[in-house]
Structure 1
Amino acid sequence: MARTGTDGRIERGNQTRQAILQRAVGIASVEGLEGLSLGRLAGELDLSKSGVFALFGSKEELQLATVRAAIKVFIEHVVQPARDLPAGLGRLRCLCGNWLAYSARRVFPGGCFFYSVSAEYDARQGKVHDAVAGAHGNWFTLVEQTIDEAKEAGEVCAAADSAQLAFELVALLEMANAESVLHGNFTCYSRAADGIVSRLRGVATDPSLLPDTLEPLVTAGLAGPDRRHHAV
């Protein structure tokens, strides 16, 4: 019985932690990681501040846990669906299309979580900066690696500069996110998609492998954000 009771407390603690982090990633995507506090989250979720403190211990640990939770959501929505495809232009195109959909559907209410917090922490130092910079750097590395794999598959020209192409693709994605969040303009996602397809055709060994647009494209997002909450 004692073990069953202990297991139940652990499960409740895990559920409480997940609820806190789900709220935290939403707040941070709009107000930044500095907008988080143990007291605020306790009040908004009707929890005791001491209970929240027991789960995280400090504001910095809460911020780090929030970044880790956001990474899990990002992987679920952007990275994992592309992993199921064979290496090549299809995987690269899917990765970019997933990113546009993730931003346009407001998986995080403030648009791309990492675009928001990167601007907040780019000139700072410390563990939170390192976690944010690491996540952002890993995304660039993944895009570049996906381009290299498409080269090995013979679908991207061997002479293409993978680092330069990755930079340009990410720039188009992030500009669409920035314009949409700042101006509430969702047509920028179609512009970014057109730019990405055009750029990929320029490096493709067989441009006919590319359709006219990205898939899965942002159809739901172009009609407006998806307000559903996503578990972390």
Structure 2
Amino acid sequence: MPRRSAADVADSRASAVSAAVDLASVEGLEGITIGRLAGELSMSKSGLIGRFGDKEALQRAVLQAAIERFTDAVWRPASAAEPGLARLEAIVDAWIAHLRSGVFRGGCFVTTASVEYDARPGPLHDDVAAAVRRWLGVLTAEAQHARDAGDLPPDRDPADVAFELHSLASGGSVAGRLLGDDAALDRTRAAMRRALGLLP
């Protein structure tokens, strides 16, 4: 039987990660196991282990892929806007559109992972924390640009702006999914805009 090419192996690994992201968005990263995913993909466990090594490596690959989806949906479109307030406004709009779109069946992936691993030490906790810190850093930098340009009050702490935007988006995602609140994202967008001093 001919050996599979490196490209074939990479493609099958990417397909496995993509399927695992969709599953983990609903069931959490701890719900992802080699056996469960092998069954979903009609693959052998040994074949899947050969692509990832172990459960933790699979989970970390899934988290990274989910972060890439978020980056593609939110940061890359907004990055074309002018730094500062215009970019923050574009981020808010892209963020809400991302949450509405159902890219993740379970809502905001990082919010789910944050709750899952906030009190559970280990590499996944560290990966999730690092991802959140990076995003807060992006938001803080844009808020700093906005303050320097005079678009935010001089006493407005850029880190507070970042924290508020992140908290509102996480809360809005949870309210929409958990409570079935169809208006949650509309309220979230309005609150995020108010945090930036913009009209809802």
Give the alignment's TM-score, normalised by structure 1.
Answer: 0.81
CA RMSD of aligned residues (A): 1.6
Give, in whole Å, the separation in 1 of the partners of 2:117 and 2:193: 31
Whichever residue aligns with residue 127 of structure 1, its letter is: P
1:41 to 19, 37, 41: 37
**In structure 1, what is the equivalent of residue 100 of structure 2?**
104
**Other-structure match for 1:150:** 146
Shift of 1:200: 1.6
Corresponding residue to 1:13 among 6, 9, 12? 9
Identify unmatched segments of 5+ residues in structure 1.
202-209, 214-232
Residue equivalent to 1:217: none
Equivalent residues of 1:28, 1:117 under 8 A apart: no
Q: Which amino acid aligns with 1:36?
A: I
Q: 1:83-126 CA deviation, whole Å, 9 max, x = no partner? A: 11111211001112211111121111100000001100000111
Distance 2:150 2:63 in 1: 36
Match of 2:166 in 1: 170
TM-superposed CA distance for 1:156, in Å, is: 2.1
Give 1:184 deviation, angstroms: 2.3
What's the CA shift for 1:159?
2.2
Give, in whole Å, the separation in 2 of the partners of 1:135 and 1:92.
18
Deviates more, 1:97-106 or 1:173-182: 97-106
Identity %: 38
How far apart in 1 are the matches of 2:112 and 2:61? 16
Q: Among residues 83, 105, 129, which one is paired with 2:79 in the alignment?
A: 83
Q: Secondary structure at the match of 1:108?
A: coil
- Ranges in structure 2 where 5+ consecutive residues have no aligned partner: none
Displacement after TM superposition at 1:152 (Å)? 2.9
Matched-pair contact (CA < 8 Å) for 2:147–2:158: no
Structure 2 match to 1:180: 176
Structure 1 residue runs of 4 or more that deviate by more than 4 Å after TM superposition: none
1:138 CA drift (Å): 1.2
Please name the residue that 2:116 is paired with.
Answer: 120
Does residue 50 of structure 1 match 2:41? Answer: no
What is the CA deviation profile of residues 139-190 of structure 1, one whole-angstrom value per residue up to 9, with x for unaligned ones? Answer: 1111111111222333223321111122122221111101011022221111
Q: Match of 2:69?
A: 73
Query: 2:183 & 2:67 partners in 1: Cα distance?
Result: 26
1:59 alignment partner AA: K
**How many residues are aligned here?**
199
Once the two structures are superposed, the pairs formed by residues 128-143 of structure 1 within 5 Å of their partners are: 128-143=124-139
Q: Which residue of 2 aligns with 1:24?
A: 20
| 2-structure distance, mates of 1:62, 1:94 | 33
SS at match of 2:153: coil
Distance in 2, Cα, partners of 1:186 & 1:138: 30
Structure 2 counterpart of 1:196, which letter?
M
